[in-house]
Structures are given as C-alpha cells and as structure tokens.
Chain A
Amino acid sequence: MPYNEKVLDHFNNPRNMGSMDKAARDVGTGIVGAPECGDVMKLQIKVDDSGVITEAKFKTFGCGAAIAASSLATEWLKGKTLDQAGELKNTELAHELALPPVKIHCSVLAEDAVKAAIEDWKRKNAAPAETALATEEMQGKTKT
C-alpha cells in the first residue's frame, strides 16, 4: 500500500530532525520503542519559563510512518503549553497522515514519545517535594 502524500512529504522533508542537550534542565527527552517492528524514537522538547514549548526535535529510526508521525508531532508541539501538549492524541496524528490500520501503532509511538518527553521535563523541573512522587509515578509507568 503506498503512503499518503503527507507521509511522504514528512519522510522526504522531515521537520525538526535533530537533537538538543539531554542534560539541559529546560529540555525534556522521551525515548520510546516498538518491539514488534524494532522502531526507536527520540523526541525532545524545550520549554520556556512560562511553560510553553519553544522548540521540539526528533530522531526516529524506523519506517516512513513513524518518521512522519514524529515529524508532525514536533511541528504540532511548538508554541503549545505543556498541558496542551499532553493532550495530543495518536488518533489526530494518524488522521492527519491518513495512516492505514497497520501503521496506527507508529502514531501511538509518537504519542508515547511526547508523553515521555513531558514527564522527563516535569521530573527535572519538579520542586524537591514533588520529585519523590514523580519518580514513583515513573516507576509505576515503566512496569506496565
């Protein structure tokens, strides 16, 4: 099945491909993978003092749909608040890219990457009292 034009466009001209300093306090990094297809995706967000995402970068090793979904997600994230970003749904990405059913999981991967990046940023920027809670939450998440 040929990919939709939008997928091809993002695949051939990926937006925001690259990396930011993982150690920086204002950068949140999410690294996720899909064992079924072996795709690995890294998505990073830079958040300013008012909680707005000023920059987003991605690096995806995977199929065209996974690259397109993460590329589109970074475009979409810029200018959003963290709360708005947390509401990004894989279905929106899948719909925009007209992904066929077998490629829906690629958009799920992009949503997971966004959520992981937000969590990472929150963990780094949490007040000391909240840090323990955030760590607990994260541990709970990694078990599921």
Chain B
Amino acid sequence: MEDNTNKAVLTKCTHCKHEMSQPLLCDHCETLNPLPSFMDFFQLMGLPRRFEIDLKTLHEKYITLSRHSHPDFHAEDEPDVMALAMTVAAAVNEAYRTLSDPIRRAGYLLELLGGPASAQDKSVPGGFLNTMLMLQEELEDARVAADAAAKARLKQVLLTQRDGLLKSVERLFADLEAAAACEATRQQQLHEIREQLNAVSFVRKSLSQLE
C-alpha cells in the first residue's frame, strides 16, 4: 500500500515561509505551526499509517514535539501562540498514548481504516467466550483459595493468549496492506481484526483483576 497520507498536510511554515518536510514543527526555524484540522495521530507523529511502527521514531518525535509545545517553553509568548502550544501538547500526548500501546494503536487504526468499533461489532472468535468463562471460573477459585501459584499460572495463560491475539492482529493488518482486496473482502478483514481486538479486551480485563 502506497503511503501518501503524510503528503497532504505538508505546507510552508507560517513564520519563515520555508517548505516544511513534516507537519507542525518547522525544520528551518522551529516555529510551531497551526494544527491542521484533519490530521490523524499517525500524521501528527510523522509516521506511516500502519500497525507496525518504529517505536523509537515515535518516542523521539514525541520528545521533540512535547518540548516545542510545552507551556513553559511558550510562557512569554502571545496568547494565541500559547493556546496553539497547549492544543498541540494535548494532541501529542493523546497521540503518543494511543500509538505507543499496540492494543490502542490497533483499535485506532482499525477505525481510521473504516473498520467497526467494538460497540458496533461485538463478535469474538468462535469458542473464545467459552474459554474465557472457564478461565474466569478458575480465577475465582484461585482467588477464593488465595492460591498464589494458580494465580501466577493463570496470569501466564492470559499473557500468552493476549500475545497470540496481538500476533494475529499484526498478521491481519499486514494482509490488509499486502493485497488490494475488493470491498467485501476488505470489510471481512476489518471484521476479523475487530474480533481479535474484542477478544483482547476480555483478556485484558481478566489480567487487570490479577494485579
């Protein structure tokens, strides 16, 4: 899939009028430019719109943008610049929070690609709820008996399950990118990603009860 998602937002710096190679921060004069109204989190962080991203690049971008939009950095500026900095800082924080976590990133990307939200498509892979129910019953027994060994074993089962689900999410996103499928196939692929992500939600909830 050709990535042209970033090109649309590139403009000239409002301050020095130089061409900017990235949105928001001018590479020439480092002026903070207005936030385009239609920018998604991938564009904001200068990343291609895909599931597999370079976390190091994301982190570096986060540090740079955070520094340039930090309120302390603009304390002496005009109110409109301060307001812009605050808007950017909030957007950057939210983008980082979303993209740095693979589960949040997958859910965000899925909806960006036109996939269903969990409220619209609650399905899970076949037999999954049965497994979940069994695990929950075992968890309850372990809790009642204060059986630390059983709890540790169940935690491991859940972690393995979560990682397996995330692996298949990764694979499904890669499939989606690899083939220019017809709309029906594409919708089916998006639906399958939603199924895996719904399953992850259940696993994550159970894991949170173990903490």
Could you tell me which A residues sit within 8 Å of B by CB distance?
31-40, 42, 59, 61, 142-144
Contacts and interface: CB of A to CB of B under 8 A. Distances in A.
Interface in B120-166: 122-124, 126, 129-130, 132-133, 136-137, 140
Interface residues of B, number: 21
A35 B133 contact: no
A38 B206 CA distance: 8
Query: Do most interface residues of chain A lie in helix, strand or loop, or is the interface mixed?
Result: strand
A27 to B, nearest CB: 15
B205 interface: yes
A143 B201 contact: no
A67 to B, nearest CB: 13
Contacts of A40: 129, 132-133, 136, 202
A35 B137 CA distance: 18
**B interface: dominant SS:** helix
Given A33-B202, A61-B140, 11 more contacts: A31-B129, A31-B133, A35-B118, A35-B201, A36-B119, A36-B201, A38-B204, A38-B205, A40-B202, A61-B136, A142-B123
A35 B202 contact: yes
Interface in B88-133: 118-119, 122-124, 126, 129-130, 132-133
23 contacts: A31-B129, A31-B130, A31-B133, A32-B129, A33-B122, A33-B132, A33-B202, A34-B122, A35-B124, A35-B198, A36-B118, A36-B201, A37-B205, A38-B202, A38-B205, A39-B205, A40-B202, A59-B137, A61-B133, A61-B136, A61-B140, A142-B123, A142-B126
The 4 closest A-B pairs by CB, nearest first: A38-B205, A35-B198, A61-B136, A35-B201
